[in-house]
Structure 1
Amino acid sequence: MTETIVTTTSTVTMDDGVCLHVKVLGDDAKATKPLLIALHGAPGLSTLLDPESSFAFLSGTFRVLVFDARGSGASDLTGPYTHERWINDIEHLRKWAGAEKFVLAGGSYGGFIALDYALVHGDRLLGIILRDTWAHGVVGMMTALANVVTSDRLKVDVARQVRVWSGILYDDKDFEESVLEILPIYDPPEEVSNKAPMSGETQPKVFEGLAETGSGYHSATQNAAFCENMPRFDVRHRLKEIKAPTLVVVGRHDYITPVHFSQEIADGIPNTRLEIFEYSGHNPPADEPEKFRDTVWSFLKAEVL
């Protein structure tokens, strides 16, 4: 029998008037539980459904706050879509939730924001969880593009993939077509997933159910993220400044943010645990859910609780 998780859904107004769609998982009217804020990836595409499915299992111990970032999902499509603005939104939500310190989790693009947040507001963090991310924007973009256009698992429009990974999409339809043609590369190869330990449960895959959510494809958000933000994103030489205990997880068969990027982050942050998921692609919480839960819970018990 699946335990019912008490969820509060809110519309929270930021300091500039932009409204964000927010969920808090776990009943705690007096806010006595520690707070965990989990960030989704793929600006303009992904939504809070991704971190909700990944971290809902913690709601008995933590208040798990997930939200659609501005420019994504059901939140306002109002910029600026910059790391600085997205960081300010996290700060506003932290204060709204009444927490002085919290755990910050970020997957894929959410990991970029988490790293930048840690360099600006490191004193606010009890811990960090990074999933399948990188520390250098230009190299990351070019690696992902190269892996996409050379993959024997895909048949893509190369010019369109150049547009999505460099942030010069024509429109929302161009964004949709660019995503749909590369979906298989986010999952591990079939011969690998067939060998994975069976968990007896079904988890959503990367971007699964996107059309059903009505969130749509917002190319303006994606273009800002990859044309403006990524060329300026390079925290490799500042990783040593991050003092919060950090868990880095990555799928062995992730071709968007390959293992060596996570290894670089783990080598740079002083207090880090790196966990490689041998049967996973870009989304270990979906590919190996039991191991992901065990790994995260072990880290939080040792470093935060």
Structure 2
Amino acid sequence: MSTDNALVPTTSSVMMDDGAKLHVKILGDGNGSSSKPLLISLHGAPGLSTHLEPAASYTFLSKVYRVLVYDGRGSGTSDHIGPFSHDRWIKDIETLRKFYGAEKFVLAGASYGAFLALDYAVRHGDRLDGLILRGAWANGKFGPMNALANILTSDKVKVDTERQVRLWSGNLRNDQDFEDSIMELLPFYAPPHTADIQDIPESTEFMGTVKYHSATQNYAFGVNMPQFDVRDKLQSIKAPTYVVVGRHDYVTPVSSSEEIARAIPRAKLEIFEHSGHSPPSDEPKAFEASLAKWLKAEGLPSTS
């Protein structure tokens, strides 16, 4: 198979053990059976974001990895069959790992995907060659409340207070309520002075046709987050871990990433000084170079 053909995305519908089907793309191998190592990347914003966000972030690694991206259960075009719990989503990761024939793999998670990646790592750390976390917190009781407080006191956005409380507590009324809450919030995720940064592409976080599924968001923040607290388990994560955060991220602030990086034995913290919540889209060249350097330093396949 030629190199060009190997980089063509392969789209599949993969059935989980309960019959739900997930929309999956493999970047970096035409048929999913390559000898390349596997990297699974988890998107954020459950019920809103899709595989397009991690695809934009990690396609540059598809020359050395099979980069697996997918719409999580309850998001995008994957089946909306619950529960939308961490237990169920972790089972889905395990099904995909086995389906694509990997004993071990690199797991990347962005925003909410980073919370899920952390939960996977403390449960199944022996299956990880590496862990990449972007925009994470380790305490789901504190994190959403802190994000909401930052939003309500920010001069970057003018929001409906009651609607934002519904969003961050998992009490959205319907899909339209979800859409309205996100649309008024978008500037909050961006770094300041974005026009001064020359290598920013169009936003990858909400690319494509956006579909809002409030039931997924409500379960994630109304049920999962109050139960999510891995602070006392972080030291058990033995895989090399790359913790990425933007200096101007007020959703998952620098202090949260510092807490995680201090606790994980083999963690490296990288703060992107010109980024908000998404360094891969705010500073793509710097993000790619930094990640490639870290992979090489850890003895993992790298583009550098």
Match of 1:150 among 145, 149, 153: 153
Map 1:144-293 onto structure 2 (within 5 A): 144-190=147-193, 193-196=194-197, 198-199=198-199, 202-207=201-206, 209=207, 212-213=208-209, 215-293=210-288
Partner of 2:136: 133
Aligned-residue Cα RMSD (Å) equals 1.3
Match of 2:67 among 33, 45, 64: 64
* Divergent runs of 4+, >6 A: none
Matched AA of 1:266: A
**How far apart are the structure 1 equivalents of 2:178 and 2:203?**
21
Give yes or no for contact 2:122–2:236 (8 Å, CA) kept in 1: yes
**How far apart are the structure 2 equivalents of 1:257 and 1:92?**
29
Does 1:89 pair with 2:98? no
Does 1:80 pair with 2:83? yes
Report the TM-score, using the length of structure 1 for normalisation: 0.94
Partner of 1:106: 109
List runs of 5+ in structure 1 lacking aligned partners.
none
Residue 202 (structure 1) shift: 1.9
Matched AA of 2:186: L
Q: Deviations over 1:170-204 (max 9, x none)?
A: 000000000000100000122xx3443x23x6242
Partner-residue secondary structure (3-state), 1:21: strand
Partner-residue secondary structure (3-state), 1:297: helix
Matched AA of 2:18: D
Matched AA of 1:97: Y
**How far apart are the structure 2 equivalents of 1:109 and 1:202?**
22
Give yes or no for contact 1:8–1:25 (8 Å, CA) kept in 2: yes
List runs of 5+ in structure 2 lacking aligned partners.
none
Match of 1:118 among 116, 121, 134: 121
Residue 138 (structure 1) shift: 1.3
Report the TM-score, using the length of structure 2 for normalisation: 0.94
**How far apart are the structure 1 equivalents of 2:81 and 2:212?**
14
Matched AA of 2:169: S
Instruction: Quickly say closer, same or farther: Cα 1:205–1:23, change in 2 above 3 A.
Output: closer
**How far apart are the structure 2 equivalents of 1:27 and 1:65?**
10
